[in-house]
């Protein structure tokens, strides 16, 4: 499988090159040259397959012969060795819980898959690689955990100072070893811009790759849990609408890739907070990036979502085609808190702020009689302890591993400019 740049100014590369490069030399995101649907028999009998078998079938064409099948099966098995339950919230709505991995966030899947792929490539030809990643919250912890101790890989994580939750910050600043956290005086978009600039700076002496969802090995495995949810629901609920809390739009874009592979998903809703670049685009077809704003659903505080260009490509860059299978709505913090209260009161279900935004997306979509709505609960509520407890007026039970994490000492390096990042990378 080869990958081309969506900016069309760079040569096609292999899966391995796309993973190691992260971003194409022309600053474009890599996209697979071909997408072949899975056999119809596989989809119609999906409940007969294990999650490992499903994930392997979904991803193998995108890896090609770059990794032996036996090794790829091991990578997949280690990536998804936890649960992905759809929990009933209302008669026609369920929550797809993606927080049962090691860092309690959906990004564990992509981070673990990418770390293992990069580890395999490094074992074949040892070369020191630096994973440079920007985070608005959960990516940093998942990447740090996934790459901790991986031979030949250093990880440098940029995060916006004061704009991630305390637990999120501890997850990326307390591991040490090959993990370094840079605390940026700015917002997530500043972090992301620094990362993109570093990739194109030929004066940086390190070999850089990205572990944001711009990297194909972080983006594509997120397809898996759409298949897993469909497997749990399709016999009773064949018409599924997914509402995805969306920041950089990699998660929902992976769901659309699953749809391209033949998964019969009825509709996608991208639910955002007040960072409404895409909801505004869906009104008039004009894409106007904005400076990001801080919210209680901080992992979605993205004003210029990188992966939206991939979504447009999946719909042949046709605004009309996109509108047929996709909608996007924006909600502020007050609406998010009210949603959390309503879900808890009516269903006794505790949603984190991101899941609550996803729930609001289903409400706005207005499910038809034959539709079943699934909102993605992308992080454990305990990761947003202050917001959840104050909004719902309750005390959350804190998992033992989080209690231990809170006690650890934070270690970060503060920077404000790209030049400071560059100096650090070259030191």
Q: Catalytic positions, please?
A: 107
**φ, ψ of residue 183 in degrees (nearest 5):** -95, 110
How far is C-alpha 178 from the chain's CA centre?
A: 22
Half-sphere exposure of 384 (CA within 13 A, CB side): 29
Of 165, 137, 166, the closest CA to residue 157 belongs to: 137
The radius of gyration of the chain's CA atoms, rounded to the nearest angstrom, is 20
For residue 230, give both structure tokens.
């469909």
Contact indicator for 210, 110 with CB cutoff of 8 Å: no
Contact indicator for 101, 80 with CB cutoff of 8 Å: no
Contact indicator for 62, 113 with CB cutoff of 8 Å: no
For residue 10, give both structure tokens.
């760079």
| Strand pairing category for 86-90 and 93-97 | antiparallel
What is the C-alpha to C-alpha distance for residues 294 and 187, in angstroms, rounded to an integer? 8
What is the secondary structure of 156-169 as a DSSP string? Answer: EEEEETT-S-HHHH
């Amino acid at each position: 499988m080869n990958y081309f740049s969506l900016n069309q100014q760079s040569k096609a590369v292999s899966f391995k090159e796309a993973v190691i490069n992260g971003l194409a030399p022309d600053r474009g995101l890599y996209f697979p040259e071909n997408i072949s649907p899975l056999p119809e028999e596989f989809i119609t009998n999906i409940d007969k397959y294990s999650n490992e078998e499903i994930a392997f079938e979904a991803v193998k064409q995108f890896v090609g012969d770059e990794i032996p099948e036996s090794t790829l099966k091991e990578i997949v098995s280690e990536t998804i060795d936890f649960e992905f339950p759809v929990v009933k919230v209302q008669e026609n709505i369920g929550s797809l819980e993606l927080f049962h991995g090691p860092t309690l966030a959906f990004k564990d899947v992509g981070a673990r898959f990418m770390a293992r792929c990069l580890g395999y490539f490094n074992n074949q030809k040892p070369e020191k690689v630096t994973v440079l990643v920007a985070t608005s919250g959960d990516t940093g912890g998942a990447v740090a955990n996934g790459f901790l101790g991986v031979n030949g890989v250093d990880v440098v994580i940029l995060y916006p100072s004061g704009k991630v939750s305390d637990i999120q910050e501890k997850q990326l600043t307390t591991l040490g070893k090959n993990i370094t956290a840079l605390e940026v005086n700015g917002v997530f978009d500043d972090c992301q811009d620094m990362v993109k600039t570093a990739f194109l700076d030929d004066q940086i002496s390190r070999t850089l790759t990205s572990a944001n969802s711009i990297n194909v090995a972080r983006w594509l495995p997120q397809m898996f849990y759409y298949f897993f949810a469909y497997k749990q629901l399709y016999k009773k609920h064949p018409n599924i609408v997914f509402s995805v809390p969306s920041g950089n739009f990699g998660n929902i874009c992976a769901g659309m890739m699953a749809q391209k592979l033949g998964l019969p998903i009825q509709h996608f809703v991208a639910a955002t907070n007040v960072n409404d670049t895409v909801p505004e685009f869906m009104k008039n077809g004009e894409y106007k990036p904005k400076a990001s704003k801080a919210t209680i659903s901080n992992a979605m505080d993205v004003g210029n979502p990188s992966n939206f260009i991939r979504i447009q490509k999946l719909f042949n860059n046709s605004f009309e085609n996109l509108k047929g299978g996709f909608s996007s709505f924006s909600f502020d913090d007050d609406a998010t808190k009210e949603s959390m209260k309503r879900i808890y009161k009516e269903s006794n279900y505790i949603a984190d702020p991101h899941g609550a935004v996803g729930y609001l997306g289903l409400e706005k979509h207005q499910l038809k009689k034959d539709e079943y709505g699934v909102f993605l609960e992308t992080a454990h509520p305990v990761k947003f302890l202050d917001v959840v407890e104050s909004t719902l007026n309750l005390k959350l039970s804190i998992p033992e591993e989080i209690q231990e994490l809170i006690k650890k000492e934070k270690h970060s390096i503060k920077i404000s400019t790209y030049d400071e990042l560059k100096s650090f990378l070259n030191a």
